[in-house]
Amino acid sequence: MNAPKLTERFEAALIYATRLHATQTRKLGNVPYIAHLLSVAALVLEAGGNEDEAIAALLHDAVEDQGGKATREEIRQQFGEQVVEIVDGCTETDITPKPPWLERKTRYIEHLRYASPSVRRVSLADKLHNARSLLAEWQQQGDVIWSQFNGSKEDTFWFYQSLVQVFRETGSDRMTEELSRVVSQLFQQG
């Protein structure tokens, strides 16, 4: 397999994402949000993703967290229809305030069952990085981490188990198996 060529579009997306999320930090660890986006893009590329998927990985939370429909339109104009379709597929909601947690998560899981391989790849990379981060923080801080999330520990476990099931149903790979291992470790220990 040939490595995807990353062009000026990827560089522009990196700058755009860095600026868009400049004041945002992760819920856990007080880490600049761009670190998550870079990790997701790296996982996508390591899994054989193309440039559009890598760009979408950098922008996968932009619509939901940084401007809704107006940001979506900027992404479409700057990076094209394919990128915005992947971002749309990874977006739980573009409504503020967000709908209730369980409603969003249930709809997202059902959507993933029929999502394109590109959407599933970016979503899987996102969820894998989130699960890795959760596990690392849980190992350092214990159950106190669950108070920083909208869903309970049990709800979060249900969500991640459901994700593993959907990703396995739609074609298991190395990332899916790692997600399964990390989720098992996180919730067996907790």
Active site residue ranges? 64-65
Would you put residue 67 in left (φ > 0), alpha (ψ -120 to 50) or beta? left
Task: Establish whether the linkage from the previous residue to 97 is cis, with ω within 30° of 0.
Answer: yes
Q: What are phi and psi of 24, to 5 degrees?
A: -95, 140
**First-last CA distance in the chain:** 40
Tokens 């590329």 belong to residue: 45
The residue type found at 135 is L
Q: Rounded to whole angstroms, how far apart are CA atoms 60 and 37? A: 8
CB atoms within 10 A of CB 92: 17
Residue pair 31/25 in contact by the 8 Å Cβ criterion:
yes
Q: Which distant-in-sequence residues (6+ apart) come within 8 Å of 56 by Cβ? A: 44, 83, 86, 87, 90, 118, 122
Nearest to 163 by CA among 125, 112, 114, 129: 112
